[in-house]
Amino acid sequence: MTEARRFALTPGEPAGIGPDLCLLLARAAQPHALVAIASRQLLAERATQLGLDIALLAVGPGAWPDAPAPAGSLYVWDTPLAAAVVAGQLDPRNAAYVLETLLRAGNGCVNGDFAGMITAPVHKGVINEAGIPFSGHTEFLAELTHTEQVVMMLATRGLRVALVTTHLPLRAVADAITAARLERVTRILHADLQDKFGIASPRILVCGLNPHAGEGGHLGREEIDIIAPTLARLRAEGLELIGPLPADTLFTPKHLEHCDAVLAMYHDQGLPVLKYKGFGAAVNVTLGLPIVRTSVDHGTALDLAGSGRVDTGSLQVALETAYQMTAGSRQAV
């Protein structure tokens, strides 16, 4: 039997569906101890709104659980709100609360209280409206753990896609793809596929930047000048890298059948395919951190908060992936 471990679960934006997902998930037992870092009052009120009978079990520093919570119950590290929450209605006064839950989870992973953290969606806009500069979970956790370079990877069953660049305007992407950046991202992807996913010799397919991977330089020279030479240097060290390949044909069964991950050059090159294949059952993984962090692949869905009409599929995959990453399982998504 696998030894039970302890994980932090952050519900994200309190007016969104994150609290709903945590409560719906608690109806069934998990194989590990999940600690929701949230307002106990918020969860109790949302449970009433959803018509759920979930026992909220108080835990915290000095009183951590060692065993999974029984079905129909949820461990909660109570974190106070600044203002009452109405499902579906954003309130900048609770922005600091959201960041406090992330801070507690991240520090808990660093100091060993948690084996990893799973995050529900936050609303970046309302946090910034509160006067707090915030660009996302990934950047927040990178700063918290003093990590210079992290890599965003989304995964669903049968496909993993990592990104060289993330949230950049399209006109800025080409300038951001430097040999140094590509090398750092590729090394992080390769190392975490080995260390956190248990893949001894990862096989990575690499997209070109331009249509037809540059068409021999006629549609752009980034492949010739930057991507191909960088991959060649890394191959000389033993990394199994295939590419640069045209993105429009890379995402086909012939190529994907024997690969462990795809490395895309920019956000909308790789993620539309991933989300078409697995939306609602995909997970966002932050690679390069000294801790394990996974997340759902969707947003706060304010219009569905408190309705009961939400799908826990992505959160369940995020949980399963975190469990597997901390065990170094070869069966990870």
Angstrom CA distances, 2 to 5, 67, 270, 327, stand at: 9, 12, 34, 9
Domain 151-275 has CATH 3.40.718.10: yes
Which regions of the chain carry the CATH code 3.40.718.10? Answer: 6-147+292-328, 151-275
User: Which pTM does this prediction carry?
Assistant: 0.88
The class level of CATH for 6-147+292-328 reads alpha beta
Q: Between β-strands 116-119 and 33-38, what pairing exists: parallel, antiparallel or unpaired?
A: unpaired
Q: How far apart are CA 282 and CA 284, in angstroms?
A: 7
CA atoms of 268 and 161, how far apart (whole Å):
11
State the average pLDDT for the chain: 94
Tell me whether residue 267 is annotated as binding. yes
* Annotated binding-site residue? 254: no
Q: pLDDT tens-digit profile of 3-48?
A: 679 999 999 999 999 999 999 999 999 999 999 999 999 999 999 9
Residue 22 in 3-state DSSP?
A: helix
Note the pLDDT of residue 332: 40
Helix (H) or strand (E) holding 197: none
Output the pLDDT for position 8.
98
| Residue 146 in marked binding region | no
Question: What would the pLDDT profile of 230-281 be if each residue is shown by its tens digit?
Answer: 999 999 999 999 999 999 999 999 999 989 999 999 999 999 999 999 887 8
212 is in an annotated binding site: yes
Please tell me the distance from the alpha carbon of residue 99 to that of residue 134, in angstroms, as a whole number: 9
Q: Phi-psi region for residue 83, left (φ > 0), alpha (ψ -120 to 50) or beta?
A: beta
Q: Residue 111: is its pLDDT beyond 90?
A: yes
Are 32 and 68 in contact by the 8 Å Cβ rule? The answer is yes
Residue 275 is labelled as binding a ligand: yes
